[in-house]
Structure 1
């Protein structure tokens, strides 16, 4: 993939509400609360694209598209 393709693939990030908030909320310490991050995701216009990106790229950490890694693993097992 060329750099231009990568930029196009991530263009949705410019509309992501998380880009305007504290990034630490999306990468909580083990056992930390994900509630605030998920609340931002619920209102985000690109949360679906975010989740698609996380699933396609096997993101291991953080809240992506409103789901934690554990929730994304379950979704993957169900054959999303």
Structure 2
């Protein structure tokens, strides 16, 4: 008999949390900036998206998934592209430091 204990679980069970997202019925353009959007317009749009994230029961699952896959665009789990980049850069720096010490 084949050992399946190391295989990932059913897809539905891994992603079911997404059905609980507060963003589920919101226009996706709120979470992704249009080409050329800059300055205060971009900041206001991102803040509106983050306000929805702040009410979301699965915000942390969304955030961790976006960091895990290094999502390059949009607001995910209440974090902007720049905020995710900063977190990932710090995680990478810490991992490199641990590796250097070990």
TM over 0.5, yes or no?
A: yes
State the partner residue of 1:26.
31
* Structure 1 spans left out of the alignment, 5+ residues: none
Tell me the number of residue pairs that the alignment of Structure 1 and Structure 2 aligns.
Answer: 79
* Structure 2 spans left out of the alignment, 5+ residues: 1-6, 93-102
Q: Which has the higher contact order (CA 8 A, sep 6+)?
A: 1
Give me the whole-angstrom Cα distance separating, in 1, the residues matched to 2:50 and 2:87.
Answer: 16
Instruction: Provide Cα deviations, 1:4-30, integer angstroms capped at 9, x if missing partner.
Output: 33x322211100000021111011223
Q: Does 1:9 align with 2:5?
A: no
For normalisation by structure 2, the TM-score amounts to 0.68
Q: Which has the larger radius of gyration?
A: 2
Q: How does 1:15-54 map to 2 (within 5 A)?
A: 15-29=20-34, 30-31=37-38, 32=42, 33-54=45-66
